[in-house]
Structure 1
Amino acid sequence: MNGNTARILLMIARLSWLLALGTGVAFWLGWGVPLHAHMGLGGLMVLSLLGIALLGLSRRPGLALALAAVAVLVPVVGMMQLMAPLFDSRALTQVVHVALGFCAIGLGEVLVKRMKQGAAPLV
């Protein structure tokens, strides 16, 4: 694993996640933030996390696959807000979307840390 690549991808994921969270809240509050800005930042976060998952696949396959699955679910649930909210509840869908975003960034942090440690895989 190239440690520098993983660290750079993690920094991109962190920054894009923070900005996506901020633009999402601003959009939700009606502050005139374009939804496409939020979606683009979220997409950058997801791509960065998928890159981390790809780097960790050989060293921590279980954790890498969990990260990839959660990262893919973030935009899927996000798009559901526009089309078919969970149980017909837009608020529930928004909460699940934000929670998945937190889980995805947390899994990315854990995977990079575990890849740095180089110990035997736990997952």
Structure 2
Amino acid sequence: MLPYGILTKGVPGPTVRIVVTDGVGAFSPALYTDGRTPDKGLIGAYITAEDQTVRYAFAVNPTQGANQVGHTITAGSNIVLDGAAVIREFRFINDVAQTAGVLQITPFYEI
């Protein structure tokens, strides 16, 4: 049985580990196509936060500090991104400075 909220369409690609820093991060362009089948585009992503809370936003950079911008994903929690446009606008940063969060990301590609 798949975890609640996981994408059920598309083909999963290899899971990628990203260490989150105090600088704003985004997905590598290499993640946008399936290296095994290059013509298959990214359609979704299943993301788990490990160790620390990570702040994320869309179409704007998330920020730390007193006037934080963005949503949070706490350690052990998951989110699902559905659609290439949403994924391209996804940005992330440590919620608290110098805490080094980790994201485990499984991309999903067109069938």
Task: Give the TM-score of the pair, scaled to structure 1.
Answer: 0.30
Q: Which structure has the highest helix share of the two?
A: 1
Task: Give the TM-score of the pair, scaled to structure 2.
Answer: 0.32
Q: Which structure has the highest strand share of the two?
A: 2
> Relative contact order (C-alpha < 8 Å, sep 6+): which is higher?
2
